[in-house]
Every structure is written in C-alpha cells, then in structure tokens.
Amino acid sequence: MLKDFILNETLKTIEGLEKSGKLGDLVSSEDVDLSVSVPKNTDFGDFAVNVASLSRYTKMAPQQTAEMIAQEMRCAVRTLQITVVGGFINFKLGKELINDVISEILKKQNDFAKNNTGEGQKVLLEYVSANPTGPFHIGHGRWAAMGSSLANVLKYSGYDVFQEFYINDAGAQIANLARSLHIRVLQELGEKVDFPSDEVEIKKYYPGEYLIPTAKKFVAEHADYAKKLTTKLTGEQLEYLADFAKKDMLEMQKKLLIEFRTHFDGFYSETALHESGEVDKCVELLKEKGMLYEKDGAVWFKSSEFGDDQDRVIKKSDGSNTYLTADIAYHYDKLNRGYNKLINIWGADHHGYIPRINAAVEAFGYDPNCVEVLLGQLVNLVIKGEQMRMGKRKNMITLQDLIDDVGVDATRYWMTMRSIDTALDFDIELAKSNSDENPVFYAQYAHARACSILRNATSKRVDTQNKIELEPIFSEKELNSVLESLDLNILWEQDEKSQESTRRLILKLEEFKSIVVSAAKNRAPYLLCNYSQDLAGTFHQFYAVSRVLSDDKALTSARLALVKSTAIILNTVLSLIAVSAPEKM
C-alpha cells in the first residue's frame, strides 16, 4: 500500500537521523507514533505525515523539524515530491508510482487487494442463529448480510474462517411451535379451533399464517397420524409435531439463506449439544474448578469473579438447565475445536450476555479476549415515509417479502452499508429506484458504465455528423494486447484538469488495499459500501472531464486501462459483499 510505503520511508529516515544524533533526545525511532493522512487540500499533495510531535526531541519548531526530515527524504526517495507546511511533510507521488498502481491491478485482477493480515488465524464466525420457529425477519437479514460479507473480507485478508449457524432448537419456544402447528393441523382437518384470545396465553403460541403451509404438508405426509389428533396433546404428540415443525422451518430458512447468497459451513444444533452430554460435562468441569455453588435450591456460576456484575444460575431448582448453560457449553466446544478467535453477531438486546460468556471462557482457562461480540442494532423498515413495526406473533414483513420486493442485491447492499452498531433505516422505495440517490444502483451503474466503455472500444461506431459507420477503435484481441503492454506516461501530458481527475481516480483505486485491511481488522464490511460510493463518484468525475474514446489510440488505450481497472475493483468490492456487478443496466 502506498500509505505503508510512505510511512516506512518516513520512519526509516527518522531512524537514520536518530542514529546520527540529529534528533536530539530521541532515543529510539520505535517511540515514534506517526500515521499517514490525506490532506483536505489536494494542492498540498496526495499524502501527509505530521511530525510536529518530534519537536520535543529536536528542540526546534515543527516546521524546522519537518524540513530536516524532508530534506533527507528528498535525497533518498526520488519517486516522491516532498514539501513541508508547518509540522506536516506532504508527499505527491511521481508518475512512476501512480502508473504502477494500474499495472498491478491489470496484472492481479481481483486479487489486487488480497492480503495476509489474518496470518491464517482460525476464526469461528457465528451469526443469524435464529430459532427455527418461523421465517426470518428483516433483522436476521441484516445479520446474514453483515456476517457473510465479513466472512468474505476476512478470508480475502488471510483469515481461516468457518461460518456457523447455531440452531436454537431446544426450550420452551419449540413447545410453543408444536402447539401452534397443532392448531393449524386441526384447522386444516376442518376442526373449529383457534388460538387463545387471552393476552397471557397467546404468548405460548405463534399465530402467524406461515404455519398454514406446514400444516398442509403435515396432513399430506402424515394423514393417519393427523386424524388421531384431538384438542388435547399427549407428550409424545407434542414432540412429534415439534420435530416436524422445526425441521420444516429450518428447511425454509436454509433455502432462503442460499437465495440470499449466505453460505454456512456448518449448522450446530442446541438439541444435539444437550443429547451429546456436553452440557452436563461443562457443568461438572466448572464444579471441579470450584466455580459453582448452591443457593435457594439452584446451582450458581461464580461469574462475578470474572467481571460479570453478578453470579448466574446455570441449573434451576427443578434441575433443568438455563439458556446460559447451553451457551457456555457451546462456546467451550468452539474452543475445543481449535478456533482461537470466536466472533459472534448478536442482537443489541444480548449486551448483558457478553460478560457472562467471557466469564465462562476465562473460568475454563482461556483468554476471554478470544471472544468478540458484534452487537447489531435494529432495522427500521421505511415504506412511503412511514416506519413499520414487526413481530413474529402478528402479521409482519419477512426477509423473504423484502427480497421479493426489492431484490437480493438491494437488500444485501442496504443491510451492509451502515456500521452494525448503528440503527438502519431501510427505505424500500429508494432501494428499488434507478437513481443516483440509491447507493446500490449508483455503485452498480458505475461498473456497468465502465463495461459499456470497454465494449464500445471494440464495437463499430456511428459518425453522427457524416452519418457513416466507423470501424471499432480496437479489435478485442488488439485491446487485450494493448492493455498488457501499456505506456501510461501519456496520461500526464494532458491538460491539468484531466491530469487531476486521473490522479484522483488512480489514488482512489489504490486506496482499496487499505480499505480491505481496515474492514477486516475492524470487522466493518460497511467500509466496502462507503468505498464503492466514493470510487463510483470519482470514476464518474473522471469520465466527465476525460474523453476516453478518441482517434488518439495511445491516449485511448491508456484511459481504457483506467476504465478496466475501475471495473475490476468495483467488481471485487461488490463480490465481497455478495452483490452482483452487472455489465449492462
């Protein structure tokens, strides 16, 4: 990355000056904490480093300190134009460095920004993990888009990522699901039954109409069994209905995940975790470590000894486990599988759960920092200017409804384009529009425009003035050959406005490297969306002031290299968030 190059050259120069005693009291260049920024005023240069903090060692004014360092660098680095303003050293890249960016993109294609930031670290990324009690709501869509995009950028940055869906298929909600299916099955058989009208009792059911198709399927596949059902359920019948319902719901969820371009390497069942005996083993292990005690007939975990605000019950007085118990066992299993980083995407209402899990991890002898939780804020669905509130127990707009309305591309892009800890207003009408105000359209249109320019370079043209058909500027074979052996220096022989738009575009393309690293390190795939907007805007500005196709083949081929590079990077950005990059719109 060019920022790294500039920072390394600056630090190397400082180290040399320090060894020669020219930096006064500075003992070691390792004490220097500098960073590279982009000046707001482009007249100053492409990048800048503030070295004013070194003045306390040199006993000179920031301007003099910066000038001393800059003078050394001017002698050592000929590819940079270096100036000083106050305590800032400003750098303007020479055309050799600029040209190398385009050459590298054309050579590496979609691997241009691939890096090894993760150094092979084994990551288990758990997200969505919805109860198999109904269709995904739009919040699940945000976790799916964010999680899968994060997995992509982590893999692109050298992490070894395993994507897992934790199936919450145990507990009271599954019994509620079975009771709800029971009513729908009876209705399907013609019985006059309905859900309770009591506000307390209805909370034990899922009255949404989404279970009607499941009931039809149950009656079709288990007709004899269904006919034996009465209004009163036996324990065996409840379990039978529960197994059928959760299997059908999970199949529905998996189908939608595939449609939504969200891949999971594994689905982990909570029920299987209990049946394997791992939950009880974890309880015993905590007991052996002296981390449990009894109080009021329940078993408590001493989580307060590890930073939690209070101790937590892991076995109720009736002998049953709490939800926390299974979650502790699940995370212990993750660590036993050899993952050294556990990333969970949870809803914001799980904030209080974090110290409990961290406490358990530490109690087992692991570093609690290996657990990283990303808390996602809500999605506010905006329809014609009004917010919609949704709940599973009433009529709701599901993720499937949203995808059917606006499409996978728009849904994924909008769900990813804000930081996960920020509430998202999803404007349906805007997401469907073909306007520059719609961010996904704006990014995709830039890619389509770049592809169109490349097509036009190898297509017959019409001279509108003389009304005659002209031969293509290049054949496809000729264009490919030209792009492999380019002389980009002609770009810097054009008018000042064109040179400036060219420089801005190339620097924006090169910035993709640092964006990817930042998105991976900060678990922030939304940075890719922000970048796609910036790149699209910079490309449109370049196209507005620089005529790409002309009779000057040398200039045309050089500018086509920029267009091709833009198409490559936009394609890569969009693929990382699993959004298509159309060649025509």
β-strand partners of 294: 299
Contact (Cβ atoms closer than 8 angstroms) between residue 413 and residue 529:
yes
Cβ neighbours of residue 203 closer than 8 Å, sequence gap 6 or more: 393
pLDDT tens per residue across span 384-419 = 777 765 544 445 689 999 999 999 999 999 999 999
* Residue 400 CB neighbours (<10 A): 19
**What is the CB-side half-sphere exposure of residue 550 using CA atoms within 13 A?**
9
> Which residue type occupies 48?
A
Q: 169: closest CA among 252, 250, 234, 240?
A: 250
pLDDT tens per residue across span 26-60 = 656 666 789 999 998 888 899 999 999 888 888 88
For the full predicted model, state whether its pTM sits above 0.95: no
The pair of structure tokens assigned to 123 is: 């990551």
3-state secondary structure 447-486: HHHHHHHHHHHCCCEEECCCCEEECCCCCHHHHHHHHHCC
In this structure, the strands spanning 160-167 and 88-93 are: unpaired
Contact (Cβ atoms closer than 8 angstroms) between residue 144 and residue 403:
no
Q: 169: closest CA among 180, 157, 177?
A: 177
Q: How far apart are the first and last CA of the chain?
A: 33
Domains and their CATH numbers in the chain: 2-93 (3.30.1360.70), 136-273+377-432 (3.40.50.620), 439-576 (1.10.730.10)
3-state secondary structure of 276: coil
The CA–CA distances, whole Å, from 202 to 105, 172, 195, 394, 508 equal 59, 14, 7, 11, 56
pLDDT at 26: 66
Q: What percent of the chain has pLDDT over 70?
A: 97
pLDDT (average), residues 184-196: 95
The residue written with tokens 């086509």 in the block is 560
* Residue 365 CB neighbours (<10 A): 8
- What is the distance between the alpha carbons of residues 404 and 82, in angstroms, rounded to a whole number? 54
Q: How far is CA 150 from the centre of its chain?
A: 3
Q: Torsions phi, psi of 23, nearest 5?
A: -110, 25
Residue 538: is it exposed, middle or buried by C-beta count within 10 angstroms (0-12/13-18/19+)? buried
Cβ neighbours of residue 464 closer than 8 Å, sequence gap 6 or more: none
3-state secondary structure of 387: strand
Cβ neighbours of residue 104 closer than 8 Å, sequence gap 6 or more: 112
- What is the distance between the alpha carbons of residues 327 and 307, in angstroms, rounded to a whole number? 18
- What is the distance between the alpha carbons of residues 323 and 316, in angstroms, rounded to a whole number? 11
> Is the Cα dihedral 426, 428, 434, 440 positive or negative?
positive
Q: What percent of the chain has pLDDT over 90?
A: 82
> Which residue type occupies 491?
L
In this model, does residue 366 exceed pLDDT 80?
yes
In this structure, the strands spanning 379-383 and 424-427 are: parallel
Confidence of residue 422 (pLDDT cuts 50, 70, 90): very high
Confidence of residue 76 (pLDDT cuts 50, 70, 90): confident
Q: 147: closest CA among 132, 162, 169?
A: 162
Q: 303: closest CA among 289, 313, 316, 288?
A: 313
Q: Which stretch of 158-167, 194-203, 475-484, 575-584 has the lowest confidence by average pLDDT? A: 475-484
pLDDT tens per residue across span 299-356 = 999 999 999 999 999 999 998 999 999 999 999 999 999 999 999 999 988 898 999 9
Q: Which stretch of 28-32, 211-215, 218-222 has the lowest confidence by average pLDDT? A: 28-32
- What is the distance between the alpha carbons of residues 510 and 425, in angstroms, rounded to a whole number? 31
pLDDT at 494: 94
> Angle at the Cα of 564 (from 559 to 570), degrees rounded to 5?
125
In this model, does residue 461 exceed pLDDT 80?
no
The pair of structure tokens assigned to 113 is: 């920004």
Average pLDDT value for the chain: 93
pLDDT at 392: 43
pLDDT at 28: 64
β-strand partners of 36: 49
The CA–CA distances, whole Å, from 69 to 73, 80, 88, 479 equal 6, 14, 10, 45
- What is the distance between the alpha carbons of residues 206 and 214, in angstroms, rounded to a whole number? 13
pLDDT tens per residue across span 267-302 = 999 999 999 999 999 999 999 999 999 999 999 999
Contact (Cβ atoms closer than 8 angstroms) between residue 339 and residue 175:
no
pLDDT at 30: 62
> Angle at the Cα of 331 (from 326 to 333), degrees rounded to 5?
95
3-state secondary structure 163-205: EEEEECCCCHHHHHHHHHHHHHHHHHCCCCCCCCCCCCHHHHC
In this model, does residue 553 exceed pLDDT 80?
yes
pLDDT at 29: 60
Contact (Cβ atoms closer than 8 angstroms) between residue 46 and residue 92:
yes
Alpha-carbon torsion, ordered 280, 284, 287, 291, to 10 deg = -50
pLDDT at 505: 98
pLDDT tens per residue across span 104-131 = 999 999 999 999 999 999 999 999 999 9
The CA–CA distances, whole Å, from 539 to 54, 443, 446, 571, 585 equal 39, 10, 7, 14, 17
Q: Which stretch of 239-253, 370-384, 451-465 has the lowest confidence by average pLDDT? A: 451-465
In this model, does residue 495 exceed pLDDT 50?
yes
pLDDT (average), residues 122-150: 96
In this model, does residue 167 exceed pLDDT 80?
yes
pLDDT at 391: 46
The CA–CA distances, whole Å, from 41 to 37, 38, 46 equal 12, 9, 9
